Amino acid sequence: MTPRADRDAPVSPEIVRLVDEALAARHGARTWDGPGDPVGGLVGTILSQNTTGVNSREAFRRLREALPTWDDVANAPVKEVEQAIQTGGLARQKAPRIIEVLRQIREDQGRLSLALLNDMPVADAMRYLTSFRGVGPKTAGCVLMFDLGLHVFPVDTHVHRISRRLGWVPDKASAEKAQDLLEALIPGEAKYQLHINMVSHGRALCRPRIPGCDDCPIADFCHYPDVGH
């Protein structure tokens, strides 16, 4: 690989392609699994905030077990939802947020469905989802990418860290600003695979502390020693 020595130089499409290929060679090729339930995706992503994947998936499973339909969840007392999702952490904050979002969707659409997103331009779909309290660009992006297969690029903590170390976004860019910049930088067809593999890479090697730089397949493109975190 050819390193991009100048951190301030524009990131070329070729660099993005090479990083995508290197991460796919290490972590695997990724293809979209097909349409999902965007309402369930939205609830699941809210549950995933500030916790581990294992904990959020268990919270989601227990919620569906206790309250099998989304109308059941929307109609339930907050305490019942809170009890069901305790394993996911921050249940007191997430339970009323989930109920509020579900009730708002039902009020807007006349039923608990996000089918309207299929007919919206991406920007409009992002605006609609982020209009809900507690739903930011990352959460909205995950729903649009995973459940609808749209070409968006959610920025979680791993993607944020790696993109700054690579110099793809300014070191002081917020996650929301980074998402805007990376949406424009990364080709649509590469977004799904690159997002998933950057998350995998952040968990496996490009950790916040003591990253595995000696075994990193994209080390030649990285500015980590300059960034320092």
Report the alpha-carbon distance of residue 224 to residue 153 in Å, rounded. 22
User: Quick check: is 172 catalytic?
Assistant: no
Give the angle subtended at the CA of 182 by the CAs of 198 and 184, to the nearest 5°. Answer: 140
CA-closest candidate to residue 62, choices 73, 74, 75, 51:
73
Per the residue annotation, which of 138, 172, 177, 191 is the catalytic one? 138
Name 207's Cβ contacts closer than 8 Å, sequence gap at least 6.
Answer: none
What are the DSSP calls for 121-190, one per residue?
Answer: -HHHHHHHHHTSTT--HHHHHHIIIIIT--S-----HHHHHHHHHHTSS-TT--HHHHHHHHHHHS-HHH
**Residues with catalytic function:** 138
